[in-house]
Structure 1
Amino acid sequence: MFDARLRPLIDKPLNAVARRLSGSGITPNIITGFGFVIGVLAAVALAFRLDHIALGLILLSRIMDGLDGAVARHAAPRSRHPGAKSQESDLGGYYDIVADFLFYSGIILAFAVGRPDHALMAAFLIFCFVGTGSSFLAYAIIAAKTGQNHEKQGKKSFYYLTGITEGSETIFVLVLICLYPEWFPQIAAVFGTLCLITTAGRVMQARRDFG
């Protein structure tokens, strides 16, 4: 919901760093992999209830998640396709989305490992993540098939469908979980419900656009 509004603020510093990294040999896929490893370390920290360490690693991981795309747009092309103007690629977009979904669900799983008394609500939240993720990706597949494009959140490797619960909101929730772990059931209940509303909205959007 807030991604489109935050994108201009986020892009400026990311693009500045990306320009400095351009030509350094650091590829977008390297940054994606590094960010994913940091995310795994964040999950491990959360499993051991090192909440503030986990918070710092989560934020660093999400910075890497934004930086890989910025570097892809600024770095010299390595594509095998003639006429390529950047390092943006379908494979890079694939790596990015897989890493994102493993990261988000992994953080919630790690929280449940560290606090088994909250496992039921963690399972509910992961279930809700599956709803938003599947509705998002399924729409993207059909949109790509029909030649649709949407760049309000910036140039993407796939069709980016908006909703109530997007990346910014999810990161905010992960921050809340680290700062106030005792409130996890309430946070999970509210955000999970919003995820289900987002899923329902995307299903209705698909019905209007593809029906």
Structure 2
Amino acid sequence: MLDRRARALLTPSLDAAAARLAALGVPALALTGVGWLLGVGACVAAAFGGWLLALALWLANRLCDGLDGPVARRRGSTDLGGFLDLLADFSIYAGFVLAVGIAAPDARVACLALLVSYYLSGTAFLALSSLQEKRKAIAPDNRSLQFVGGLAEGTETVIVYCVFCLFPGHAQVIAWVFAAAVLITALQRVRFAVLTLHTPSSPRRT
């Protein structure tokens, strides 16, 4: 819901930083790898109740994620880079929820519900992306995959994980509310699929 506004606000600064990193020869995959390690650190810190450290590492992870794409576009983006970037994001998203469940036992059922909602929303997202590519749909934001928006997008995830770190005593409520938001997003993607995929795709020419 907030991704478009967040990108409009942050893109100029991220592009400027990415231009400097690209000029220095920093590979986009290196940023993806460093970001993933920072994300793993955030998960470990959260699991042990080090919430302020988890917050700092989580924000650093998001910064790297915001830089690797612009750097890749300057140095030459690859499908492998897009694949690894998405895999890194999904693994940290899930790992952080697992860490919250470890640190806050009363929130474990809510965290499990959140992971299930991620599974449903992620499946809808990946299936839609694949079918949109099959139909030769053009991704409007130069990202590796076609993103279908909804109530809970990347920006909302960043905010919610920050709220987890700042108010860990309310983890159960936070997880339940966000699980509902992600489930609504999954339903929005299903609705989008019903509206856009009901006609047969054009046959591929051989």
Same fold (TM over 0.5): yes
Given the alignment of the two structures, is residue 68 of structure 1 paired with residue 55 of structure 2, yes or no?
Answer: no
| Contact preservation (8 Å) 1:143, 1:159 | yes
Which amino acid in structure 2 is aligned with residue 145 of structure 1?
K
SS in 2 for 1:55: helix
Q: How does 1:58-207 map to 2 (within 5 A)?
A: 58-75=58-75, 87-151=76-140, 154-207=141-194
- State the 1:120 CA deviation: 1.1
Q: 1:137, 1:116 → 2: CA distance?
A: 31
Q: 2:74, 2:12 → 1: CA distance?
A: 13
- State the 1:117 CA deviation: 2.6
Q: 1:21, 1:189 → 2: CA distance?
A: 39
What is residue 53 of structure 1 aligned with on the other side? 53
What is residue 201 of structure 2 aligned with on the other side? none
Q: 1:105, 1:61 → 2: CA distance?
A: 14
| Contact preservation (8 Å) 2:107, 2:175 | no
What is residue 17 of structure 1 aligned with on the other side? 17
Q: Which moved more, 1:110-119 or 1:30-39?
A: 110-119
Among the aligned pairs, what percent are the same residue? 37
Q: 2:104, 2:178 → 1: CA distance?
A: 19
Which amino acid in structure 2 is aligned with residue 144 of structure 1?
E
Q: How does 1:31-46 map to 2 (within 5 A)?
A: 31-46=31-46
- State the 1:10 CA deviation: 1.1
Cα deviation, 1:127-182, whole Å, max 9, x if unaligned, reads 1111111111110000001101232xx31011111111000001100000000011
| Contact preservation (8 Å) 1:164, 1:198 | yes
Q: 1:186, 1:118 → 2: CA distance?
A: 8
- State the 1:59 CA deviation: 0.4
- State the 1:97 CA deviation: 0.6
SS in 1 for 2:177: helix
| Contact preservation (8 Å) 2:124, 2:189 | yes
RMSD of aligned C-alpha atoms? 1.0
Count of matched residue pairs: 198
Q: 1:104, 1:42 → 2: CA distance?
A: 11
Task: Give the TM-score normalised by the residue count of structure 2.
Answer: 0.93
- State the 1:6 CA deviation: 1.3
SS in 2 for 1:63: helix
- State the 1:116 CA deviation: 2.3
| Contact preservation (8 Å) 1:150, 1:161 | no
Q: Which runs of 4+ in 1 moved over 4 A?
A: none
Q: 1:129, 1:99 → 2: CA distance?
A: 15
Q: 2:32, 2:67 → 1: CA distance?
A: 8
* Structure 1: segments with no counterpart, 5+ residues: 76-86
Q: 2:9, 2:152 → 1: CA distance?
A: 19
- State the 1:184 CA deviation: 1.2
